[in-house]
Amino acid sequence: MSFILPAEWGKQDATLFTWPHKNTDWEPILDKIEPIYLALCKHILSVQALIIVTHDLVLKAHIKSLFRHADLNLSKVHFVITPCNDTWARDHGPITLVSKTNNKQKIKSLDFIFNGWGNKFESALDNKINQAIYKQSLNKNALTQKLNFVLEGGAIETDGKGTLLSTTQCLLNPNRNPALNKQQIEHYLTQSLGVTHFLWLNYGYLAGDDTDSHIDTLVRFAPNDTLVYVSCNDKSDIHFNELSKMKNELKNFRTEKNQAYKLIDLPWPSAKYNNENERLPATYANYLIINNFVLVPTYQDKQDNHALIQIQKAYPEHKIVGIDCLALINQFGSLHCISMQLPCGFLSTQNKELKHEK
């Protein structure tokens, strides 16, 4: 049976969050962060389930109280209790493949190594989260595999047809898989993810980004051979030259059938800084696709509305919803970074019926 990494706009069972808590770097601004999570949960629960990783039972009780006060339906939430270092579910969460046999979808969920973006941050607890998810939430008929390879979900984008998009700054960085060269990494991802076509970006970055240029902050796939990308038209901005070179690379990219991609540019928000005057990575590309919706980070910026308009062009069959994420980027990530989509077949039948939480 052959498996492939699905596009994010494929049908989903659930979205994964790892909830922030007082023992994380979020502690000073938890009162600003939890409302963002609740706003996301409200939209997600309208179309699919949630898996929420909670550090302990005390945090689970706290989250349930928050949901009740926000009038959110807990019957569609499944909790996974396991200790965690932080909240970046995109990067420590499972990367799940799909395959269809006799029109019935099967899944294979992969547990890659998460090393804190090249051993920059403590990640030992986060690296164990996927195994806890498999034990507590995963469909018992699903396949799983634990892999001896460092890979974060935010580092890769796919069109669901076998094409993988990433950046050389991240995937070829010696702080991930130093024993492997580009050809060996391509071979490994071909074998593990079902990749048949690679697109590599050599340019593009965001100041304040700890991930070594994750692709989900820069360029995203959309249906119909479309690429959505961040652009900067301010020549005085430090990103201008790098993102201009990135745009030229995108113009030269070709599909596996040797066709040019349709390009949709996203506006450049004004520079955002934290209290220590550090530039924060505000990017509209860090959106999350769920069933029927695209949830887009906004930053109380004059470009917010234009970003929503551009993303609507890329996903005409989805409803586009802006979520204020200005507080979220204080920890140098945004909406997509804190979430992971889980395709149909991930949850067990019992979990789909959602009888476990009242």
Residue 1: inside a domain: no
According to the model, what pLDDT value does residue 100 have?
Answer: 76
How many other C-beta atoms are found inside a 10 Å radius of the C-beta of residue 165?
23
The mean pLDDT value for 91-115 works out to: 92
Residue 206: inside a domain: yes
State the Cα–Cα distance between residues 73 and 206, nearest whole angstrom.
37
- pLDDT band of residue 284 (cuts 50, 70, 90) is very high
Residue 232: inside a domain: yes
According to the model, what pLDDT value does residue 243 have?
Answer: 98
Q: What is the pTM of this model?
A: 0.96
Q: Residue 325 belongs to a domain with what CATH number? A: 3.75.10.10
The residue length of the chain stands at: 358
348: its two tokens: 């067990």
Count of the separate structural domains present in the chain:
1
- pLDDT band of residue 354 (cuts 50, 70, 90) is very low
DSSP 229-297: EE----TTSTTHHHHHHHHHHHHH-B-TTS-BPEEEEE--PPPEE-TT-PEE---TT--EEETTEEEEE
Residue 163: inside a domain: yes
State the Cα–Cα distance between residues 163 and 253, nearest whole angstrom.
11
Residue 3: inside a domain: no
Q: Of 206, 203, 200, which is closest to residue 181 (Cα–Cα)?
A: 200
State the Cα–Cα distance between residues 123 and 126, nearest whole angstrom.
5
Q: Of 46, 91, 50, which is closest to residue 211 (Cα–Cα)?
A: 91
Give the structural domain span for 134. 12-353
pLDDT tens-digit readout, 166-224? 999 999 999 999 999 999 999 999 999 999 999 999 999 999 999 999 999 999 999 99
pLDDT tens-digit readout, 249-261? 999 999 999 999 9
According to the model, what pLDDT value does residue 113 have?
Answer: 98
Residue 7: inside a domain: no
> With pLDDT > 70 as the criterion, what percentage of the chain qualifies?
97
Contact partners, residue 248, CB within 8 Å, separation at least 6:
none
- Could you say which DSSP state residue 163 is in? E
Is pLDDT of 156 > 70?
Answer: yes
